[in-house]
A and B are shown apart, each in its own frame.
Chain A
Amino acid sequence: MNHNQPVYTDNDPQNELVTLNLGPTHPATHGVFQNVIQLDGERIVSGVSTIGYIHRAFEKIAEHRPFYQITPLTDRLNYCSSPINNMGWHMTVEKLLNIQMPKRVDYLRVIIMELSRIADHIICNTIIAQDTGATTTFLYLFQFREHIYEIFEEICGARLTTNIGRIGGFERDFNDIAFAKINKFLKEFPVALKEFESLLNRNRIFIDRTSGVACVTAEQGLDYGWTGPLLRSTGVDYDVRVSEPYASYQDFDFEIPVGTTGDIYDRYRVRNEEMWQSLRLIEQGMEKLKSEPAGIFHADVPEFYLPAKEEVYNNMEALIYHFKIVMGEIDAPKAEVYHAVEGGNGELGFYLINDGGRTPYRLHFRRPSFINYQMFAPMSKGMLLSDAIINMSSMNIIAGELDA
């Protein structure tokens, strides 16, 4: 048997079923996903997911890169919220090196991570609406994703694959324009989000398409390893930010929204509510920053924090540290560490084994999209094809994170 061929169950003795090759490049799937499905009319009888179309061997590459060069690899996992991946990686290394962050850096990180969570959820929720036929909401809310990218651009110079921050803090302090843009966003976005909700929350067509479709129980969700908004929509209040707080999330006051039935409508509502909570977190972060000493944007760990370029040219110590960090000669303990952050789609874990060499001995990414997606084919059985399409949208599978 050729292993690349999807496996079919022999449930079609009279050859009445239609085999449909959905993907790998299909406009309805928003990414490189292939599903070979067997259809009885419009109903799906069975399906097989084939993944790996944009596999880039990040885990192998990471074994050949010093720590600071792995950050750009993490950008390309969930590219809809790269800053969360970047900071998850930074925090993993900081955990390995036992570096404590100043509070101000933690708050800056929380602000950036919550902005990217909003960007991530904007994409998912507007695309559910788009796939149910509501183009207005998609075009309307997407401009705020642009505003978020402008904030990132102001801080790190990049928009999508951000490479934001460094191990030990940020590469530079936020400037006034960045803070002004965040404040502007905090003022304008709630209005738009409210309007977005009023267009969809009680929209008859939207509810008919999403409510009661693709229901998942908490047991099924846990059994299939779901995390993030998908698991919370089934009623399990698991959020890494609360269960194992990192980056001083314990200082913040926020709520974890949960759903009841785990259907598409619940997932949409959970994500929307999370955007409101993210706004709360950003507001609190901006408030907390006022009482922190200004100008601190990295921890005082010169042996691990990549120094500024002017320092490297003018200062002997900085030159030495720069050389050692770039060559991967930092003095990291020989240990293994697992660190998880709450990504846009769920628990994003980094399992890092350091053996004292220049590069990680092994680095494994626990990618939520990969683990969430495996339920898609089994749960599509018996579903209408058009429901399966919005089901996939509501799972917010990001191809980069799926394939690593």
Chain B
Amino acid sequence: MAEVTNNEIVQALTEKFGGQIIGVNEPYGLLTFETTKDVIIEVLRFLKENTTTNFNFLTDITAVHYPEKKHGIAVVYHLHSMVQKIRIRVKVFIDEHHPTIPTATVLWNSANWMERETYDFFGVKFEGHPDLRRILNMDELGVHPMLKQYPLEDPNRVDKKDEYFGR
């Protein structure tokens, strides 16, 4: 099968979605672009089901927090075409005060726990997710700890006495 180049993928995407595909670049050869949360599922579906792109495998979903940006949470999808042996990275920037985005579980079952993890750590609410609960942290935690406003424990704190911990 003929190799599909990154340019051809971008061309196919812009033909279909027009101005919704922005910020295209290729850091270290990995095609990266941004889109909006209105069309993200359509974009993923197009990438998955189109026979020329054929990104059949969802590698990863995660998020990044940029507190200084207007839309402060980037949800990052890594897709992989095992046939073409290429990867692609899709980013969606969403408002950190109302972080909602449609769920990708309609396309891949593997998205289930990845989205739960992202919800747990960043508070991103995946609309339509069948079971959006915390996954690694306890429910009483109350915060989404990977957000940048939550620091690690101060290593110099003095109220934690070693004797209480058997040290």
Contact = CB atoms under 8 A, between A and B. Distances in A.
B108 A223 contact: yes
Interface of A: 2-4, 7, 51-52, 55, 57, 59-61, 64, 95-96, 222-225, 236, 238, 243-244, 335-338, 340, 347, 349, 351, 353, 361-362, 364, 366, 370-371, 374-375, 403-404
Given A51-B135, A57-B145, A236-B82, A351 B110 contact: no
B131 interface: yes
Contact of B136 (A338, A371, A374, A403): A403
Contacts of B46: none
A95 B138 CA distance: 36
B59 A59 contact: no
B87 interface: yes
Interface of B: 27-28, 30, 32, 56-60, 62, 64-65, 76, 78, 82, 85, 87, 89, 108-110, 112-114, 117, 121, 131, 133-140, 145-146, 152
A2 B56 contact: no
Contact of A3 (B112, B117, B139): B139
A52 B59 contact: no
Chain B contact residues: over half helix, strand or loop, or mixed? Answer: mixed
B110 A404 contact: no
Nearest to A353: B64
A51 B65 CA distance: 24
Contacts of A404: 136
B152 A371 contact: no
Given A57-B145, A225-B57, A351-B78, A335 B27 contact: yes
Given A337-B28, A366-B59, A371-B110, 11 more contacts: A2-B139, A60-B145, A222-B57, A223-B109, A224-B108, A225-B57, A225-B108, A337-B27, A338-B87, A349-B78, A364-B62
Interface-central residue, B27, B65, B139, by most chain A CB under 10 Å: B27
A338 B85 CA distance: 14
A3 B134 contact: yes
B137 A55 contact: yes
Nearest to B116: A374
B131 A351 contact: no
A59 B139 CA distance: 19
A349 B59 contact: yes
Contacts of B121: 59
Interface-central residue, A57, A244, A364, A375, by most chain B CB under 10 Å: A364
Contacts of A403: 136
